[in-house]
Amino acid sequence: MDRQQEFVLRTVEERDIRFIRLWFTDVLGVLKSVAVAPAELEQAFVEGIGFDGSSIEGLTRVYEADMIAKPDPTTFQVLPWRGERHGTGRMFCDILTPEGEPSLADSRNVLKRQLAKASDKGFTFYTHPEVEFYLFNQMSSSDQPLQPVDDGGYFDHLARGSTHDFRRAAITMLESMGISVEFSHHEAGPGQNEIDLRYADALTTADNLMTFRTVVKEVALEQGVFASFMPKPLADQPGSGMHTHMSLFEEDHNAFHEPGAQFELSKTGRQFIAGLLVHAGEITAVTNQHVNSYKRLWGGAEAPSYICWGHNNRSALVRVPMYKPGKGNSSRVEYRALDSAANPYLAFAVLLAAGLKGIEEGYELPEATEDDVWELTGSERRALGIAPLPDSLDEAIELMESSELVAETLGEHVFDYVLRNKRNEWDAYRAQVTPYELRTSLQFL
């Protein structure tokens, strides 16, 4: 018997768990949940739980509405905020078709497929995200201006700061769910926080991120505030990104590491970065999927608007962090465009695909950029061959539309769905008359 499944059944019994939530993620990265009683769990392991997929974003076409959610026992956790006694557990699910095949529309499966491709080449893909988000005071109506919970800045330690308590509570809860936190601190914006998850294989990280968002929101509610992962909630403050460190391992060996090479970066590592740069434009609609994402990307303040890489260059899209001597296995590259509102499964899948493409095709890595690319003039950037990332969701969609790489990675179904959905989002956004327009034009014209 699969020991993991046995373990889950035993734990549910021993800890008197009354509900098990089965979690999965729709194509847009929104967490979905269905609860089952312990008595149904065994059945769920064997056959999965049937549900109507047509009402879930992007999951099915109308004519094959029946889908099956099959829990992955290795992801079992007790949800700490549901209390110790008569608790609630949760597992992530794979989505299957009624014939028992992995669903082409399941974003977890998209990532799994891509990881399998990497595995065929002997690679395991690890990621380590730095998640930023804002905490705001609760508002009684949506007309009120946003009120960050504090006025702190980068690394500020605020006496009796509520964010401090918040982070401690959130981290405790994450750790109790088996999610290791590497680092946490107050970020540059008022009420802005950053929590870094410890590196893990990409599927685990993506699952963890889904949990993370839920935990952060739960803890915030407990403390009477609310948390938002919106990429750019305050126009005059830094946005919330999700810088993600990535590395490939061959068995126990970090494939990006080569002692003595420039930045200790191996040929594989250089090609991986080259792949990220070549395909950066076309994957942006996935890594930065909302209209609002582009306000962060083009809002200055170290946001990576230009496609270039550098060593410790905080304005570059891809950064190779300072190498710590003797830590060969910590070699990694950091992709800085990704934001906290992305669907992590799809985002990791396209990033990995772009990097692998660089390795497969043996792309040449251009020179590193040591300048702050924001300081350069447009002509200078052109001369250096530094192209911009798409400046709006509209442009990103257009680039993605003609991307074979993204189509192949997502599969035709998800690809088509994401494009249609994003096109709708853009159209709806464009139809708005904003307060800014009213303020600047209404009286004046």
Partner 1 sequence: MSSTTSGTGRRETLTRRLLRAGFADLTRSASLWADDDLQRRLPPDGGESLLQTLGATADPDLALLQLVRLAGAPGAGDRVDHLLSAGPGGPEAATRTRLLAVLGASSALGDEIVRRPGLLDSLAGEESDIGTDPAAVRAELLRAVGADPAADDPVAAADPAPGTDETPAWADVAARTSTDALRRAYRARLLRIAATDLTATDPLVLLPAVAAALADLASAALEAALAVARCHQPDHGAGVRLAVIGMGKTGGRELNYISDVDVVYVCEPARTADGTAVMEESAAMRVGAQLAARLQKVCGGTSAEPALWEVDAALRPEGKQGPLVRSLESHVAYYERWAQTWEFQALLKARHVAGDAELGAAYREAVDPFVWAAVNRDHFVEDAQAMRRRVEEHVPVAEADRQIKLGKGGLRDVEFTVQLLQLVHGRTAESIHAANTLAALDALAHAGFVGREHAARMGECYRFLRSLEHRVQLFRLRRTHLLPTSEEDLRRLARSLGLRGQGADDLMRLWRDTRREVRALHEAVFYRPLLPAWAQLSDDELSLAPDAARARFSAVGYRDPDGAMRHVVALTEGTSRRAALQRQLLPVMLGWFAEGADPDAGLLAFRKLSESLGATPWYLRLLRDSGNAAYHLAHLLASSRYLADALARSPESVQWLADTSRLEPRGPQRLAAEADAVLARVDDPGPAATKLRALRRRELARTGAGEVLGVLDPVQAQAAISDAADMVLLGGLRVAEYAARSELGLGTDAAANPTRMLVVAMGRIGGREMGYGSDADVMFVHDPVPGADAALAKDFAVRTARTLQKMLSAVGTEPNLPVDADLRPEGRQGALVRTFDSYVEYYARWIDVWEQQALLRARPLAGALGGDAELAGRFTDLVDRYRYPSGGLPDPALREVRRIKARVEAERLPRGADPTRHLKLGRGGVSDVEWAAQLLQLQHAHEVPGLRVTETVAALDAAESAGLLDALDAEWLREAWVLASRLRSALVLWSGKVGGPRGDVLPADAWALSGLANLLGDVESGGELEELYLRTSRRARTVMERVVYGED
Interface residues with partner 1 (CB under 8 A) are: 1-3, 5-6, 45-46, 61, 63-64, 97, 99-101, 104, 401-402, 404, 407-408, 411-413, 415-416
Q: What are phi and psi of 144, to 5 degrees?
A: -65, 150
Shortest gap between Cβ of 398 and partner 1 (angstroms)?
A: 11
Shortest gap between Cβ of 34 and partner 1 (angstroms)?
A: 22
| Helix-helix angle 404-430:393-401, to 10 degrees | 150
Minimum CB distance to partner 1 smaller for 263 or for 417: 417
Minimum CB distance to partner 1 smaller for 252 or for 404: 404
Minimum CB distance to partner 1 smaller for 9 or for 261: 9
Minimum CB distance to partner 1 smaller for 61 or for 121: 61
Query: What b/e readout covers 209-234, taking b as 16+ CB neighbours within 10 angstroms?
Result: bbbbbbbbbbbbeebebbbbbbbbbb
Q: Give dist(CA 291, CA 15) in Å, integer.
A: 44
Shortest gap between Cβ of 76 and partner 1 (angstroms)?
A: 16
Shortest gap between Cβ of 88 and partner 1 (angstroms)?
A: 24
Minimum CB distance to partner 1 smaller for 35 or for 407: 407
Minimum CB distance to partner 1 smaller for 219 or for 406: 406
Shortest gap between Cβ of 99 and partner 1 (angstroms)?
A: 5
Shortest gap between Cβ of 92 and partner 1 (angstroms)?
A: 19
Shortest gap between Cβ of 251 and partner 1 (angstroms)?
A: 15
Residues 424, 425, 430, 431, Cα dihedral to 10°: 70
Minimum CB distance to partner 1 smaller for 60 or for 340: 60
